[in-house]
Amino acid sequence: MREPGSVLQTMRKLLFIIMGFLIFSAFQQREDAAIMNAHVKAIFLYNFTKQIEWPSDYKSGNFVIGVYGTYVTLLNELNKMASTKTAGTQKFEIKEITSIESAAKYHILFVSSDKMAQFAEITSKLKGHGTLLVTEKEGMTKKGSAINFVVVDSKIKFQLSKTNAEKQQLKVSRDLEAFAVKEND
Amino acid sequence: MIKRSKYLLLITLFCVCGSMRITAQKNADFVAALNYVNLKQADSARARVDKAMRDSVVAKDAQSWYVRGFIYKFYYVSKEADNQTSPARTEALRSLRKGLSMLPDTAKTLKESINLQMKSLAAKYHNDAARSLDTSNYKIPVQNFATYMDIMKQIEPGMNLKPAEIEINLALSAIYSSLYSANPKTRANILELNKAALLKVLSLDPNNVSANYNMGILYYNQAVFLINNSDYETPLTSLNGIQDDQVQLFKQSLPFTEKAYQLNPKKEETLQALSGIYFGLNDYDKSKLFQEKLDELRKEQKKH
């Protein structure tokens, strides 16, 4: 008969349970935060499709979202979104972009922070194309971006340049304007 | 092993019979019941002791309850050892407690004998709780562990029960976490149970690394779940509120995880967690800092 003093023997099983969970949870964490961040951006992008009006020749065919730069988690999130949602009657088409062609037709082009050096070239090639340029680096609305993701009080928000959007023949709703944060916020 | 347990049973029987001299003379059913124990006939022993207890004189005697507890414990070991909710064990404990409550302060020998039996039962409750604890079964082990604690507090008030209580609550927390991960949508109550288990550990040992770490992870997972389960069509007004809640949860996670880090800076999981929390708070510089510390730690570990 084991006495309470020998509880250590049975504690081994408890320890095993605890250690098993620690390894499990640590493994999960490495991916979760990045996915979560990308998920928030995908929600924003989906909202943009509702709050922005594209030129008439962009209202048929697929709704193309391009991701330029290394951002696998965002691509995955957008592909998940594309499998269940549509932009009105248009199906989503998600493209991983490795080089920008002048003739390319994107409804939204997300340019990740590792491609900022090419941003001037991108804006020049897509000038007036009806493409919503989305970036995620402070000050990018001054360089031609229409939407720029920023962090305010630990939350992801966005800055909006109505002028840059209009240069791309895009009409931004007043609701969306209201949600945007000012450059100096 | 069998020989040893037989020997122990005989010794115990001898002690029980010795202490039962007076009562046994009063009621022949007791003698028969103890003889059945000696013959390892648990059913008959239990029936005869219950028959003996119908005698009002016997029922007023603390020793009688001690013997009844002993016989019920014998029945439990013989017939219900694998039953985590054994009625015989419950009855054995009840009888021993009743015997103990009837004893005058001077009856030290009998008190020691009853305590010994209760201690043995406590061990059974504890071992059952630890052995059977898993994701499909946690309510009964929790009850059994509580019974173990009750018994030990009663018979050994000075005993340090903290280590056992800490371990069981940490194990419970791990079980709750697994259950929560399996289906977070329908297990909000599990989350609260998990918090309660961890807070119990922290109340006993504020510097417990595992409890601090797990508490941090608990809030962290809640924050991640909140966002990742938001539909893509979530309106911007709602998204703002969700992000507020998420930030709040990450901030709740931070002090526990930071404390776990202070207590043990060489624990990889904590560094990963801190990197994740800061990433969730969109503080990429700090996230990177902890990722770099983690990389350094791994390099060091490889060297050794």
Domain ranges of chain A: 32-179
CB contact under 8 A, A18 and B174: yes
With a pLDDT cut of 90, the percent of chain B lying above it is: 62
Out of 3.40.50, 3.30.870, 1.20.1250, 2.60.40, the CATH code matching A32-179 is: 3.40.50
Q: Are B246 and B234 in contact (CB under 8 A)?
A: no
Q: Is the pLDDT of residue B242 over 90?
A: yes
CB contact under 8 A, B269 and A22: yes
CB contact under 8 A, B272 and A155: no
- pLDDT for B9 equals 54
Q: Could you tell me which residues come within 8 angstroms of residue A23 by beta carbon, excluding any fewer than 6 positions away?
A: B269
- pLDDT for B8 equals 52
- pLDDT for A38 equals 95
- pLDDT for A29 equals 61
Of residues B285 and B7, more confidently modeled? B285
Q: Is the pLDDT of residue B185 over 70?
A: no
pLDDT by position in tens, chain A (length 185)? 334 444 445 555 666 555 555 544 544 565 678 899 999 999 999 999 999 999 999 999 999 999 999 999 999 999 999 999 999 999 999 999 988 876 678 999 999 999 999 999 999 988 888 999 999 998 999 999 999 999 999 999 999 999 999 999 999 999 999 999 987 54
CB contact under 8 A, B232 and A81: yes
Strands of the A90-97 sheet, one edge to the other: A86-87, A90-97, A63-68, A108-111, A132-135, A147-152, A155-160
Helices (H), chain B: 2-19, 21-26, 28-38, 42-53, 56-59, 62-79, 87-102, 108-132, 139-155, 162-182, 188-204, 209-228, 236-263, 268-280, 284-303
pLDDT tens for each residue of B192-211:
889 999 999 999 999 999 99
CB contact under 8 A, B232 and A84: yes
Interface test with A, best of B282, B284, B287, B297 (most A CBs within 10 A): B282
ipTM: 0.85
DSSP annotation of B184 reads G
**Of the candidates B146, B54, B29, B56, the residue with the CA atom closest to the CA atom of residue B93:** B146
CB contact, 8 Å: A155 with chain B? yes
Average pLDDT score, chain B: 88
Of residues B8 and B112, more confidently modeled? B112
* Residue of B167, B221, B239 with shortest CB distance to A43: B239
pLDDT tens for each residue of B222-232:
898 888 889 99
Q: Is the pLDDT of residue B176 over 70?
A: yes
CB contact, 8 Å: B90 with chain A? no
